[in-house]
Structure 1
Amino acid sequence: MHTITRCASLAGVAIFAVLAGCQSKPATPPATNRAALPTMERVALAANACWFKSGDPAFSAYRLAPELNSFSGRPRILAVPKGSPESRPLLVVQAEGNPARIDAFGPMMDGAAGNRIRQDVIRFANGDKRC
């Protein structure tokens, strides 16, 4: 009897070891592409959702004008007046290089929303889509 119990116990350990070895490893999240274009794509999507489409009062008078296909190597997004998109932008957020160096400038950066814009852009660039 003792031999059967011991063999059953060893078989149980062996099966557990085999099953444990078959389980998949936790997936590591893919590395975020830090080049200028993918960074600005993340910023544009999150900014559009959080600033413009959400009805945020700080951005209600503006619309997003993305210029991601830039031949200058500096993809960017603009905030322009809703009624005249051809007007001078009031906010420019652009990136350059790999890893991307992000710059935000324009009259909106000097106003009450400037600090918030800066913090949002950093979060968005890092892949955080929360508003």
Structure 2
Amino acid sequence: MLALAAGCQSQSSQPTAPSTGKSAALRNMEQVAIAAHRCWFASGDPTFRDYSFANELNSFSGRPRFLLVPKGNFGGKPLLVVQAEGSAGAVTTFGPLLEQQDGSRIAGDVRRWSGGDSACA
């Protein structure tokens, strides 16, 4: 009888946040990719004029990412990879651009954007 009574109790009246169906990794990468495109490419920043932005957010690997590749060569070797993974959506960067003159700026921008600040440098 107790099992029957327990089954009839009402659900909590606490509202739940609607689920977007997106993983933390995808949500974080969307935020970073939008800021990167806006700040590095749409703004006409000369630092990035020799590169193209290759968006791969719809990755089935569980690691949404974007790449910077040589301008106009979307199949070329990535010069920068920015990706997120895991339940916390941790964002990581790697590639030869990080070892060049603007590497610390790039890393700082990505770190700032992944932390929620979408401002350009």
TM superposition score normalised by structure 2: 0.76
Q: Contact 2:23–2:87 at 8 Å: present in 1 too?
A: yes
C-alpha displacement of 1:34 = 8.2
Q: Percent identity?
A: 56
Q: Give the structure with higher Rg (CA).
A: 1
TM superposition score normalised by structure 1: 0.71
Among residues 28, 39, 54, which one is paired with 1:65 in the alignment? 54
Aligned length: 99
Secondary structure of the structure 2 residue equivalent to 1:98: coil
For 1:101 and 1:123, how far apart are their aligned partners in 2?
13
Among residues 43, 62, 81, which one is paired with 1:54 in the alignment? 43
Aligned CA RMSD, in angstroms, stands at 1.5
Runs of 5+ unmatched residues, structure 1: 1-32
Secondary structure of the structure 2 residue equivalent to 1:55: coil
- In structure 2, relative to structure 1, the CA distance for the partners of 1:34 and 1:117 (3 Å cut) is farther
Runs of 5+ unmatched residues, structure 2: 1-21
Among residues 110, 114, 123, which one is paired with 2:103 in the alignment? 114
Summarize deviations over 1:58-115 as a string: whole Å, max 9, x none. Answer: 1111111110011110000100111212111110000101212221011101101111
* Structure 1 residue aligned with 2:91: 102
Summarize deviations over 1:12-49 as a string: whole Å, max 9, x none. Answer: xxxxxxxxxxxxxxxxxxxxx98110000000000000
Following TM superposition, the consecutive aligned residue runs of length 4 or more in structure 1 with deviations greater than 3 angstroms are none
